Each structure stands twice: as C-alpha cells, then as structure tokens.
Structure 1
Amino acid sequence: MEKKPLPWLNMIVSEPFYLSHFLLFFSYFVVRSSAAQVLSPENISRLLRWEIQATLAITVYTVVKMVKEESWEAFFADTLFYGKGLLLGVALIMDYHLAFCYFVGFLVLFVSTQQPVYDGLGNSVQLTPLQLETLLTEGNTSRFWLVEFRALCTPTCIRSSRLFPELSVIYSNKNLSFGIVDLGLFPNAAEKFGISLGVGMGMGQLPTYILFDNAVEVARFPEVDFEAKASRTPITKRLLCRYFELDRHLVEYLHGK
C-alpha cells in the first residue's frame, strides 16, 4: 500500500514561504557545527545554555499556541515570529555578524515571500462588489447575508482566512448566506461600504464583517470607530458567533421562524 506524504511535510516542500523559512532555520545547525570548532569552551558552554533555554521556550510556546489558536495560519505566523527572535538571540551569542546575516535573511523573506492563505471557501461565496449589491437588492435570495471584506495581502486577513469558511459550513442555511469580497482586487469598493484600508493596506479595518438584513446593514465588526481603541480584539470563531448571534439565527431557521 502506497503511503501518502504527511500534510505538513507536503506544505513545507510546496510552499515557498514555509520552505524558505525551514531552510533558513536549518542553516543554524550547519553554522553551529562550524562554530563548535572555533569558539572557546566557555563560549560553547554559554551557547549551549542559551540553546537549551530557547528550545524549552519555543516548545512551551508552541504547545500553548497549538491549544489557543483557531487556525493553522495564525499558529504558524506566531510560532515563526517567536522562533526568529530566539534564533537571532542565540546567533548573537556566537557572533554579531551572524546575527546581522540572519536579520537580513528574515528581512528578505518578509519582502519576497508571503504566507499562503487558507484556500477553501466552505459554503461561502466569492463575490465582486457588483454581485454583492445585486444579491442584496434582488430580494429573492437569503434574508441575511454575512459578508467578509478582506485583502489577502494583509497579515490579519491571512491569519483569519480559515475562520469564515469554517463558520459558513456550520451556520449557512436558506435564511443566512456567507459571502467574501476581496478588497485587494476591488479597493474602490471600500469607501462604498465605509471600510478604512489604512496605509499601504497594512492596517485599517481589514478584515471587516458586515451582516445585512434585506440589504440593510444591521451589524458590523469591527465597529467604525475601532481605531480610537488602544488595541483590536483578536478575531476568533467564538467572537464572530457571539457578535452576530449566529446560534440564534440557526435556531430560528430550524424552528421555521
């Protein structure tokens, strides 16, 4: 019986973002073996202590994040970010030139590669702004439309790209439909729906979720004045369910209201 490759191994090999990070992290073992021949015993002992501490820290952090995070995209993003910091710290003990090289390497990867997004749609529909407006105004489709406005060039949208499709699988029905509008492809539509893209589409209000009831907006997350707040609440499936009362909508549909 032919064995299929492990999903995570296939992802590392096929995705430039993960492959390049894996190779850069793996290069530390090559550097470490060479450094053992030139560093003094005292520095080797100090480096070993730091390596043990870094390994324990990243292990604990990984376990905690694996439990708390709701998507693999967010888990990998956080783990890689924390791992980079630990690698730079350990490299700095060996030689500051090496730490600088790793810093430049991570900077090049940041500019040249992008973390892949979850490519499934679930029961949600990819829409253009014109298609969305048509569906809302026709009146012969679902009474409620929950729409995610996103741009897949922003880290926040990449991290949460899996949540909305998974919610659509659970909660979509004849009364509630799910749609996705990519403002990276249609940036001019942001003003129409009152969404701030921010500078260079790196910040702003993306992703934004709007619930329409017969073409009328009845709820939005985040709220329009969210920029006045000190920080933005992390997006989770539980938060979206509670905010848009998805359980109530599902119960009302099942009871035929």
Structure 2
Amino acid sequence: MSFKADALQLLKPYYLVNIILSLSYITLKRTPGICNYLFNSDTCEFDGRETEILFFLLIVVMIRTRKSGSVTMISYLSSSFIYIKLANLILWFNADYLMGIIYGIVFILGALLVPEPTYSGPTNVLYFRGEQSLTEEIAKDKTIWLVAFYTAWNPVCVNFAPVFSKLSMDYSLDNLKFGKIDIGRYLEAGKKYRVSDSSMSQQLPTVILFENGKEVIRRPTFDSKGKLTKFIFSEENMKVAFGLNNFYEKAKRDLKDGNTNKKSN
C-alpha cells in the first residue's frame, strides 16, 4: 500500500477508535487541567510505575510486530493495537479502579461494534467451506492450487488479504487457482494440514501450493530443528517463494497443449 492509501485507511472507524483508545491515557495524563482533575495530581508527569509500564509496552510492541512481519504502517498498527490497549487498561486501573472499569467496557464495546475492516476489493479467490471440499478440489488432476490458511481475527491474515487477492487477479488461470479457508471456523482443515489456529500461533497465515493434490511448497515452514522459519507475506516475497511466474507459464502451456489436443481429436 502507498502512504496515501494507508492514510485513507486510518479514516475508517476501526482505526480512529483504536487510535483514540491507544492514546487515551498518555494524552489525558499529559494535558494540564484535565490531568489535574482526573488524576488528582499537581503535576502532569508520569510516575515510576507508569514509566516502567510504558517502557515494557514499547519492547513488547517492537518484538511482536517484528515477529508478525509488519511491513506497512497499517499492518504495524493492526499488530500493535491489542498490546497498546492492554497497557492502557493496566495504566487506567493503576490510576483508578473506576476509570479502569470504564476503559475496559469501552475496550470491549469497541471490539464488538467496530471490527477490523476486511478487504473488499477485486479478487479471484475461492473460499472453501470445510476440509472435505478443500481436499476434493485440490485433488483434481492438472490443477495447481495456492491456498491460504487463515483466521478472521488475526491481524497478519487481515493485512495479507489484499496481497493474496492481487496475486489471484494477476495469476489465476483455469488450471492455476487461488483458495482460502478459515481454520478458526473449520478446525479439521487446520489439523489435517498441520496449521495451528492458536492465539499464540506464528503459523498464521500459512500458504501452501498444491500440484495434483500434493503439497509442493509451504510458507512459513519449519527448519531441520523444528523451528518455524519467519516469512514476510509481501507480494514480491510470495512471487519468489512460490515461483509464481514459472508456475503461471507452465499452467499456460498446459492449457495450450490441452486445447491443441482437443482440436486434433
């Protein structure tokens, strides 16, 4: 996404609400007048406890967003919101239990009423509704499938959606197809294809390329020691890791040969 596109995204209710919640404590604590009234304090400065919490938050956000592979401002914010809001909750409770409870209620209502926006642009992706339909479809002969295993609640999956959709528009053919399955909803698919949907899972999303029903390439994958290898789901990384240009040319040749054989018969 360009900076302009990111800026337009920030105008959506989800980002506005979460930015306000994320900055609420710091802004109010540092604003003269409001600070003196809310916190019953003569100085609008952070005390030692607050400084420790904010410093710890900074470390957690940096580590978690790096592990999630955030590469744009929007993906960085999406990955950070939950940790920043939890830190704000602790800060509000530390200042006053009543304000902590009020913030907690607003926190929950915001999550329920203003969910993270999903991608709604052009796409050529088939959404599978269960493990059986996925297994049957990818087993069809002479068809290459690129399938994304995701969950609706995971920020990295949400940020990956426009990238996957763009690839589907650029590379889809009758024998080169793109699919997605929500393993948070269809648990059996995650189990069969060894993709964890845990809230602590670093396998989300997982993209697998199938050829003639068999797994050919997977990202992220595990190394020889069983450690998950980090993968950043950018458009260029996807093209290189899955050899999409080569598979696209192969699929086109197969289509051409198939059409030629039909005409000769």
Measured against the shorter chain, the TM-score band is 0.5 to 0.7
Percent of matched pairs sharing the same residue = 23
CA distance in 2, matches of 1:105, 1:174: 51
AA aligned opposite 1:186: Y
SS at match of 2:187: coil
By how many angstroms is 1:81 displaced?
6.5
Which residue in the other structure is 1:197 paired with? 196
CA distance in 1, matches of 2:219, 2:183: 16
SS at match of 1:203: coil
Closer, same or farther: CA 224–230 of 1 in aligned 2, 3 Å = closer
How many residue pairs match? The answer is 224
Which residue in the other structure is 2:137 paired with? 135
Closer, same or farther: CA 73–34 of 1 in aligned 2, 3 Å = closer
AA aligned opposite 2:242: F
Unaligned runs of 5+ in 2: 1-6, 52-61, 258-265
By how many angstroms is 1:148 displaced?
0.6
Q: CA offsets, 1:207-241, max 9 Å, x none?
A: 11111111121111122559933763332222221
CA distance in 2, matches of 1:150, 1:242: 21
AA aligned opposite 1:234: I
Q: Which moved more, 1:176-185 or 1:111-120?
A: 111-120
CA distance in 2, matches of 1:115, 1:188: 26
Closer, same or farther: CA 80–173 of 1 in aligned 2, 3 Å = same
Which residue in the other structure is 2:18 paired with? 21
CA distance in 2, matches of 1:120, 1:205: 25
Which residue in the other structure is 1:228 paired with? 226
CA distance in 2, matches of 1:18, 1:124: 26
CA distance in 2, matches of 1:79, 1:185: 24
Closer, same or farther: CA 102–239 of 1 in aligned 2, 3 Å = farther
Q: CA offsets, 1:72-98, max 9 Å, x none?
A: 65143156479769989xx89xxx617
AA aligned opposite 2:77: F
Closer, same or farther: CA 189–239 of 1 in aligned 2, 3 Å = same
Closer, same or farther: CA 223–203 of 1 in aligned 2, 3 Å = same
Unaligned runs of 5+ in 1: 1-5, 51-60
AA aligned opposite 2:132: L
By how many angstroms is 1:161 displaced?
2.5
What aligned pairs does 1:158-237 form with structure 2 within 5 A after superposition? 158-192=158-192, 194-197=193-196, 199=198, 201-203=199-201, 205-224=203-222, 228-229=226-227, 232-237=230-235
Q: Is residue 2:241 matched to residue 1:240?
A: no
CA distance in 2, matches of 1:235, 1:99: 41
Q: CA offsets, 1:3-32, max 9 Å, x none?
A: xxx9547622xxxx4343244357565661
CA distance in 2, matches of 1:229, 1:107: 39
SS at match of 1:146: strand
Contact 2:239 2:245 in 1 (8 A): yes
Closer, same or farther: CA 123–143 of 1 in aligned 2, 3 Å = same
SS at match of 1:162: helix
CA distance in 1, matches of 2:202, 2:36: 47
Closer, same or farther: CA 45–207 of 1 in aligned 2, 3 Å = closer
Contact 2:128 2:179 in 1 (8 A): yes
TM-score (ref. length: structure 2): 0.62
Q: CA offsets, 1:162-218, max 9 Å, x none?
A: 2211211122123311011111221012222x323254x441522111111111211
AA aligned opposite 2:205: P
CA distance in 2, matches of 1:138, 1:175: 10
Which residue in the other structure is 2:4 paired with? none
Contact 2:209 2:216 in 1 (8 A): yes
AA aligned opposite 2:150: R
Closer, same or farther: CA 202–186 of 1 in aligned 2, 3 Å = same
By how many angstroms is 1:246 displaced?
0.6
